[in-house]
Structures are given as C-alpha cells and as structure tokens.
Structure 1
Amino acid sequence: MQRLILDVDSAGDDILAVLFAAAHPEIRLEGVTTVTGAAGPIEQVTNVVLNTLALAGRDDIPVHAGAFHPIVGNSKADMAAPVHFEKRLAARFGERLKRFNPPAPPPARPATPGHAVDFIIETVLAHPGEVTLVTTGPTTNAALALLQEPKLAGALKAMLVLGGTFTTPGNMTPLSEYNIWADPEAARIVLNAATDKILVPLDICEDNRVADSMLTRDDLADMTAGARDNPVLAMIAETFPIYIDIWREFFDLVGFPMDDVITVALAIAPDLVTTTAPLFADVVLERGIARGQTVAYRGRQILPGGDGPKSTRVATGLAGRRFLDMFKATIARYERGAARTDA
C-alpha cells in the first residue's frame, strides 16, 4: 500500500488523477492539497476536488486549500492566460465549451481546516519514509513546505513531479511547460531538494510518440459499453469529450493526454516509465521566453554549474497502453454493486 499526498490545481486531468488515486486498491490517499493554477483561483480548485471526492464516495479524504499565488509568478495577464484559454476556442467549439473547466458548484462539505503546507509537513513527519508527495500542478505548496521544514526532504519517501519538457515543445513558451513556468522559483526549490524524485515531462505525456496513453472517444465508448451503474464513468463520458476534441484539434494530439494520472500511477507502478539515472535538474528563472525552462545536467560541461544534488530521475519513455488499461480498470471499480478485491 502506497501512502500519497496528492497536490493538484484541478485542471481536467487532475480530476481524473484524484478519481484514480481515490479508487486504486494499492493507494492510500492521505489527503489532497490544492494550489492555484490552470483551473483558476484557489476556491475553484478546492471546490472541484471536494465535488470530485463526493462523486467518488470518498468524503473521508481530507482536502486542504493551499497557496493562492505563486512565490513570484509572471505578469498578471500571462498568469491568467491558461484560465481564459477557452476564449480562443469559442469560434471552433461553441456550446461544447460549457463542459470545459466550468465554475464548480458549492460543495456539500467545506475544505478541511488547516493550510495545505502544514498538512504536508505534519503528515510526512508523522510517517517518515512512508509518504510520497505527488504534485500535478505548480509546485508552490511543496516548495513552501520544504522551506518551512528542513526535515521534510529527508522524511519523504519520494516525490513524483509533473512538469517540464526537454524534447517536446513547451505549452506556455516554446521552452517552458505550464507547471514549472507558473512558479519557476518553487520548481527550483523542489528540484534542488535532496529527495528522490521522478520528473514527468511533456515528452512522455503530450507527444504523439506516446499516443497509446491518451484518452480518446473510442476509449470512452469501450469503458461505457460494459458499464451498468458507474456514476464516475458517467461523469467522465459526459465531461471529457470536449477535452479530447480540444487536444486533438488545437494541440494536434490523437487524444487527451493523461499527464496527471500517469504521475500518480508511478507511485504503484514505477516501471511504467524508463528514466535517466539520478541527475541534477534546475530551472531557468530569468524573464523572457526561457523562463521556466527545465535543464537536466546529463553530461560534462566546461563552464561551472550543475553541482546540485543528483536526486531527480527524468522520465524518458512510457508503457502507454499498459497505463491506459490500468486507468480503465481503476475507474471500473466505481461500478455500483461490483465486487471488489482490494490488494
């Protein structure tokens, strides 16, 4: 049983990651923490998680609201751009956009008292060497926790960090991926921490070389064909066709990339990915097109630098079909009345 804290910003695949982690028999989800990111302000992010867990029948899982702003960030207009992304799509997708990142209705329960950073620190220190921290949005909460508690880096079992890009073009600038770009200062703190971690970049998520890991309309049809009474799958089948269409038509991918779910899945199946040897990874902080670029020190350079901890393995390949089968099987566990045999 893998003990996880899942730190999310509630964009589309964060919802799927929460549902996956809440249902998988080999995961003990200690709590979900929220951070402002691609889905909007912290209230929206937190309400999405609370509503998602209610649908999953997992109101027992704590949800702690966290950072409402990056440590430094970028211009106000640039930071708001991902949230208002749908305005660029209105002419193409019309009414279908109502299913894309809609305002979350008020949840039936409030967020759990206490800040996300405090929850991360308290939970990890109470179970040293047992808890993996998974970040699928900007790493602000993780960075603040590492800064606040020097013992945290050594007490974590590991970190799984979604972010960065090395060979695939960035989705914020040609060089930068959103999660790292949104709070580069936080990402540098996290990547410089002496904690074993896997960095999951766009290269193995949002690239057609890993097309077999992406969710398509055919996958939704296959999943629903055998379902009788699965409210979680019904929500996915109703909500995610627009996500599939956007990533096909705007980003030229064969389906909807499952970045966040892939990152969570590595907690129980790290062999889903091939990785580099442990290396030092860093982040460009300077303003401009390279802000938020991830840099991996893989060889020997003449100029000094790259002398930080070799604590990051960068994922370079993915068993996409195996991952997608794992996702489908986990979502099928929400079938009402279905017999479950937990590991």
Structure 2
Amino acid sequence: MQRIILDVDSAGDDILAVLFAAAHPDIKLEGVTTVTGAAGPIKQVTDVVLNTLSLAGRDDIPVHAGAWRPIVGHAKAAMEAPVHFEKRLTARFGDRLKTFNPPAPEPRRKANPGHAVDFIIDMAKANPGEITLVTTGPTTNAALAILQEPALPSLLKNMLVLGGNFTTPGNMTPLSEYNIWADPEASRIVLNADVDKILVPLDICEDNRVADSMLTRDDIADMASIGADNAVVDMIGEVFPIYIDIWREFFGLVGFPMDDVITVALAFAPDLVTTTAPLFADVVIDKGVARGQVVAYRGHQILPGGDGPKTTRIATGLDGRRFLSIFKTTMARYARAGDLGTAA
C-alpha cells in the first residue's frame, strides 16, 4: 500500500487522477492539496476536488487549499491564458463546452483548516520515509514546503512530478510545458531538491507515440458496459467526450491524454515507464521563450554546471495499454450497491 499526498490544479485529468487515487486498492490517499493553475482560482480548484471526492463517496479524505498564485509567475494575461483557452474553441464546439471546466457548484463540505504547505510538512514529519508527494499541477505548494522545511526532501519517500518536455514540443511555448512554465522558480526548487523523483514529461503523455494510453469514446463505452450503476463512469461519459474532441482537433492527438493519472499510477507501478538513470535536472527561469524549459544534464559539456543532486529519473517510455487497463478496472470499482458514489 503506497501512501500519497496528491497535489492538483483540478484540470480535466486531475479530476480523473483524484478518482483513481481514491479507489485504487494499492494507494492510500492521505490527502489532496490544491494549487492555482490551469483550472483557475484556488476556490474553483478546491471546490472541484471536494465535489469529486463527494461523488466518489470519499468525504473522509482531507482536502487542503494551497497557493493562490505562483512564486513569481508571468504577465497576468499569460497566466490567465489556459483558463480562457475555451474562448478560442467556442466557434467550433459551441454549447458543448458547458462541460469543459465549468464553474464548480458549492461543495457539500468545506476544505479542511490549515494550508496545504503545512499539511504536506506535518504529514511527512509524522510519517518519515512513508509519504510519496505527487504533483500534477504547478509545483508551488511543493516548493514552498521545501523552503519552509528544508528537511522535507529527506522526510519524503519520493516524489512523482508531472511536467517538462524533451522530444515533444511544449504546450505553452515550443520549449516549455504548462506545469513547469506556470511557476518556473518553484519547479527549479523542486527539481533541485535532494529527493528521489520521477519526472513525467509530455513525451510519454501528450504524444501520439503513446496513443494507446489516451482516453477515447471506445474506452468510455468499455467502462459503461461493465460498470452497472456507476456514478463515476456516468460522469466520465457525460463530461469527457468534449475533452477527447478538443485534444483531437486542437492538439492533433488521437484521444484525451491521461498525464495526471499516469503520474499517480507510478506510485504503485513504477515499471509502467522506462526512465533515464538518475540525473540532475534544472529549469530555465530567464525571460523569453525558454522560460520554464527543463534542462536535463546528460552527456559531456565543457562549461561548468549541472552539479546539483542526481535524483531525477525522466520517464522516456510508457506501457500505455497496461496503464489504460488499470485505469478502467479502477473506475469499475465505483459500481454502486446502494448509496450514491460509494466505491465497491
């Protein structure tokens, strides 16, 4: 049983990651922390998580709101671009966009008291060497926790970080992926931290070379056919077809990429991916098109540099078919025998 804290920004695949982590038998989801990111302000992000856990019948899982802005960030218009992304899609999809990142209804419970950063630190201190911190959004909370408690890297079991790109073009600039770009200073702190981590880049998530890991309508139909009376699968069938269409038509992918769920799955199945040897990874924080680019120190260079801790393994390949099978099997666990959203 792998004990994790899941740090999210509540974009579409974050919702699936929360559901996955809450139901998989090999994961104990100790808590969910939230950070401002692709889904909008911290209240929206937190309310989405609370509503998702209620749907899952897991109101017992703590939820702590975290950073409401990046450490430094970018110009206001650039930071808001992902949230307003749907405006560019209105002419193509019209009213179908109503299920794409809608305002979250008021949840039936409130977030737990206390900041996400304090929760991460307190959990790691109380359970040294047992907690895996999984970040699937900007790494602001993780970086602030490391700054506040420098011993945190030695207290964590490991980290799983979604972010970066190497062979696949970035989705914010040609050189940068959103999670790293959104808070490059925070990402640099996290990747420079002396804690074992796997970095999950766009290369193994948002690239048609791993098409067999992407969610399609066929996968939704598969889940619906085996998951009788399953509120979670019903929600996926209602909400996620538009995500599939957007990622096909706008990004040229065969389906909806499951970046966040893949990252969570590595907590109990790290062999789903092939990785580099442990290396030092850094982040470009200078202004310009390269801001937010992850730099992996490999090979041999004449100029000095790259002398940080070699603690990051970069995922380079994925067993997509096996991953997607695990995901669908896990969602089937939400089939109900009575109460709404109670996992079987």
Using the size of structure 1 for normalisation, the TM-score is 0.98
Q: Secondary structure at the match of 2:227?
A: coil
Note the alpha carbon deviations across 1:52-86, whole angstroms, 9 max, x for none: 00000000000000000000000000000000000
User: How many Å apart are 1:295 and its aligned residue?
Assistant: 0.5
In structure 1, the residue matched to 2:160 is: 160
User: How many Å apart are 1:179 and its aligned residue?
Assistant: 0.1
Amino acid across the alignment from 1:229: D
CA distance in 2 between counterparts of 1:150 and 1:181 reads 24
Q: How many residues align?
A: 341
Does residue 259 of the first structure (1) align with residue 268 of the second (2)? no
After the TM superposition, list the runs of 4 or more consecutive aligned residues in structure 1 that deviate by more than 2 angstroms.
none
User: How many Å apart are 1:337 and its aligned residue?
Assistant: 2.7
User: How many Å apart are 1:215 and its aligned residue?
Assistant: 0.1
CA distance in 2 between counterparts of 1:5 and 1:24 reads 14
CA distance in 2 between counterparts of 1:127 and 1:291 reads 36
Amino acid across the alignment from 1:257: P
CA contact (8 A) 2:138 2:182 kept: yes
Note the alpha carbon deviations across 1:29-59, whole angstroms, 9 max, x for none: 0000000000000000000000000000000
CA distance in 2 between counterparts of 1:341 and 1:14 reads 19
In structure 1, the residue matched to 2:61 is: 61
- 1:33-52 to structure 2, matched below 5 A, reads 33-52=33-52
In structure 2, the residue matched to 1:91 is: 91
Q: Secondary structure at the match of 1:18?
A: helix
In structure 2, the residue matched to 1:271 is: 271
User: How many Å apart are 1:227 and its aligned residue?
Assistant: 2.2
Note the alpha carbon deviations across 1:295-337, whole angstroms, 9 max, x for none: 0001110111100000000000000000000000000000013
User: How many Å apart are 1:176 and its aligned residue?
Assistant: 0.3
Q: Secondary structure at the match of 2:17?
A: helix
CA distance in 2 between counterparts of 1:63 and 1:259 reads 21
CA contact (8 A) 2:21 2:27 kept: yes
In structure 2, the residue matched to 1:4 is: 4
CA distance in 2 between counterparts of 1:116 and 1:263 reads 20
In structure 2, the residue matched to 1:303 is: 303
User: How many Å apart are 1:341 and its aligned residue?
Assistant: 12
CA contact (8 A) 2:336 2:343 kept: no
In structure 1, the residue matched to 2:125 is: 125
CA distance in 2 between counterparts of 1:173 and 1:196 reads 28
In structure 2, the residue matched to 1:200 is: 200
Where do 5+ consecutive residues of structure 2 fail to align? none
Amino acid across the alignment from 2:5: I
User: How many Å apart are 1:226 and its aligned residue?
Assistant: 2.2
CA distance in 1 between counterparts of 2:146 and 2:283 reads 17
CA distance in 2 between counterparts of 1:228 and 1:218 reads 17
CA distance in 2 between counterparts of 1:147 and 1:210 reads 36
CA distance in 1 between counterparts of 2:217 and 2:343 reads 29
CA contact (8 A) 2:275 2:317 kept: yes
Q: Secondary structure at the match of 2:14?
A: helix
In structure 2, the residue matched to 1:108 is: 108
Amino acid across the alignment from 2:44: Q
CA distance in 1 between counterparts of 2:318 and 2:217 reads 21
Where do 5+ consecutive residues of structure 1 fail to align? none
- 1:230-249 to structure 2, matched below 5 A, reads 230-249=230-249
In structure 1, the residue matched to 2:186 is: 186
In structure 1, the residue matched to 2:172 is: 172
User: How many Å apart are 1:151 and its aligned residue?
Assistant: 1.2
CA distance in 2 between counterparts of 1:317 and 1:226 reads 29
CA distance in 2 between counterparts of 1:218 and 1:331 reads 15
CA distance in 1 between counterparts of 2:343 and 2:333 reads 10
Amino acid across the alignment from 2:255: G
User: How many Å apart are 1:225 and its aligned residue?
Assistant: 1.6
CA contact (8 A) 2:282 2:294 kept: yes
CA distance in 2 between counterparts of 1:30 and 1:283 reads 29
CA distance in 1 between counterparts of 2:330 and 2:309 reads 36
CA distance in 1 between counterparts of 2:287 and 2:97 reads 33
CA distance in 1 between counterparts of 2:84 and 2:343 reads 43
CA distance in 1 between counterparts of 2:343 and 2:210 reads 31
Q: Is 143-152 or 222-231 further displaced after alignment?
A: 222-231
Q: Secondary structure at the match of 1:21?
A: helix
Q: Secondary structure at the match of 2:69?
A: coil
In structure 2, the residue matched to 1:320 is: 320
Amino acid across the alignment from 1:141: N
CA distance in 2 between counterparts of 1:81 and 1:156 reads 33
In structure 2, the residue matched to 1:75 is: 75
CA distance in 1 between counterparts of 2:313 and 2:305 reads 18
CA distance in 2 between counterparts of 1:151 and 1:129 reads 12
Amino acid across the alignment from 1:47: D
CA distance in 2 between counterparts of 1:120 and 1:16 reads 22
Q: Secondary structure at the match of 2:50?
A: helix
CA distance in 2 between counterparts of 1:3 and 1:226 reads 29
Using the size of structure 2 for normalisation, the TM-score is 0.98
Q: Secondary structure at the match of 1:303?
A: coil
CA distance in 2 between counterparts of 1:109 and 1:341 reads 19
